[in-house]
Amino acid sequence: MPLALLACLLPLSLAAPAPILTPSAYRRDNSAQTAAVSDATIETDFVRPAQFSRIAYCSSQAVTSWQCGAPCAAVGPNVKVLQAGGDDGLIPMYFIAHDQDTDSILLAHQGTDAQNILSISNDVQFLQVGLNTTLFPQAGDGIKVHDGFQKTFERTADGVLAGVQSALNSTGVKKVAITGHSLGAAIATMDAVMLKMNLDPSISLSTVVFGLPRGGNQEWANLVDKTLGTDFTHITNQNDPVPTVPPQFLGYVHPQGEVHIAKANATGATETVACPGTENEVSSLYSMLLYSVSLPGDCQNCSEGNSLFHVSVANHIGMHELTT
Ligand SMILES: *[C@@H]1O[C@H](CO)[C@@H](O)[C@H](O)[C@H]1NC(C)=O
Ligand SMILES: *[C@@H]1O[C@H](CO)[C@@H](O)[C@H](O)[C@H]1NC(C)=O
Ligand SMILES: *[C@@H]1O[C@H](CO)[C@@H](O)[C@H](O)[C@H]1NC(C)=O
Ligand SMILES: *[C@@H]1O[C@H](CO)[C@@H](O)[C@H](O)[C@H]1NC(C)=O
């Protein structure tokens, strides 16, 4: 059943994560109620990006020949892969395809395993650096992003931009759909902002990412909000710890557009809610004061309510460990 696609249905037996010394049990300063997301919305808007995010974990060769087994079969045969890049090492894999069923150009980024993303998010590269103004020509002042994520993004950015432009030119398609999971979600979000700034304004962009870590400071979150608006969704799954890193007290803020899977069970049924607002009202000082304190009325169903001390890494993996 299709809803099974959005949540972890497999009994994953991952080792418990190494202890992480980052407190992250902050809650957003947001008293707005969550709103239920319907099964219909999940099916029309989120399932296909989830399927493509999963395919991005397959080998380049399997993706290019569209022979990746169940993940490719779930999407169906009407996908023409136009470019695949990355080396499965320092340069993460991605692919660009013409999705003929939706008549869009699809860009999907591979992620990394949960242990790795937690360590990347928290290691020395958590330092924030200025945004690359060559790749983001219209970015304003004061924008800072995660050094490690930006370095990884830079390794494929030129190829992604040229590849998407050439795919749009050769197909005449006017829509780009962008997705990724985990580290792939962080890169896909940077790609989306870069593409919006560099592509013809007539091209529409839709970005749906899964298990997104925080990518930068308040100014970066504002830029994502302003540039992508409601065409950006980041889906968080139950107690996945990754959306809670790097923590807010280091000056990291999520953009808006969170949709949270609050519950999922073995039948694939989910309880999924849209979390309004952003972390905008929460200054880093305020975050520190709120550390580990749970406030009544905040967005308890959303990822900011997760604590790294009670996490299930399986919830992170589960987002793309999709079944049909
Ligand atoms: C959280 O989700 C439950 C349903 O699972 C709902 O009853 C409750 O109102 C939600 N809480 C908030 C703060 O939105
Ligand atoms: C910006 O990204 C490009 C890759 O497109 C890279 O060549 C360049 O060195 C980066 N600029 C800075 C200042 O890091
Ligand atoms: C795509 O078309 C635009 C406008 O016609 C052109 O400026 C650009 O160089 C082309 N890019 C590629 C990669 O073919
Ligand atoms: C799964 O969740 C759905 C929706 O919350 C519920 O109706 C159903 O009874 C649950 N099934 C099992 C086996 O728990």
- Mean pLDDT across 301-316: 50
Separation CA 71–CA 181 (nearest Å): 15
Structural domain includes residue 322: no
Instruction: Let me know if residue 323 belongs to a domain.
Output: no
Would residue 276 count as lying in a domain? yes
- Nearest-angstrom CA–CA distance, 275 and 284: 20
Ligand 3 atom at minimum distance from 169 CA: 1
Integer-rounded Cα Rg, in Å, for the chain is 18
Domain encompassing residue 42: 7-317
Q: Which of 3, 6, 8, 265 to probe ligand 4 with, by most ligand atoms within 8 A of CB?
A: 265
Q: Which ligand gives the minimal distance to the CA of 136?
A: 2
Q: Is the CB of 1 under 6 A from ligand 3?
A: no
Mean of the pLDDT values across residues 142-149?
Answer: 94
Question: Cα–Cα distance between 97 and 85 in angstroms, integer?
Answer: 12
What one-character DSSP code corresponds to residue 205? E
Q: Which atom of ligand 1 is nearest to the CA of 34?
A: 14
For the cut 90, the answer to whether the pLDDT of residue 96 exceeds it is yes
Q: What is the pTM of this model?
A: 0.80
Span from the CA of 311 to the centroid of ligand 1 (angstroms): 20
In this structure, is residue 324 part of a structural domain? no
Residue nearest to atom 2 of ligand 2 (CA): 154
pLDDT confidence of residue 304: 52
Burial of 225 (0-12, 13-18, 19+ CB in 10 A): middle
Is position 1 within any domain? no
Long-range contacts of 135-140 (CB under 8 A, 24+ apart): 135/161, 135/194, 136/193, 136/194, 136/197, 137/197, 137/198, 138/197, 139/197, 139/223, 140/219, 140/223
Q: Which atom of ligand 1 is nearest to the CA of 299?
A: 13
| Ligand 1 site, CB within 6 A | 33-34, 262, 271, 299-301
Report how many domains make up the chain: 1
Integer CA distances (angstroms), 197 to 104, 164, 206, 232, in order: 18, 13, 14, 15
- CATH number for the domain harbouring residue 248: 3.40.50.1820
Task: Give the 3-state secondary structure of residue 86.
Answer: coil
**Atom 12 of ligand 3 has which residue's CA nearest to it?**
166
Cβ(248)–Cβ(25) below 8 Å: no
Atom of ligand 2 nearest to the CA of 132: 1
Examine residue 207 and state whether it is found in any structural domain, yes or no: yes
Angle CA(147)–CA(238)–CA(8) in degrees, nearest 5? Answer: 100
Segment 158-193, tens digit of pLDDT: 999 999 999 999 999 999 999 999 899 999 999 999
Closest atom, ligand 2, to C-alpha of 157:
5
Q: Is the pLDDT of residue 311 over 50?
A: no
State mean pLDDT over 13-27: 30
Helix (H, G, I), strand (E, B) or coil at 172: coil
User: Tens digit of pLDDT for each residue in 21-31?
Assistant: 233 323 333 44
Report the DSSP beta bridge partners of residue 130.
144
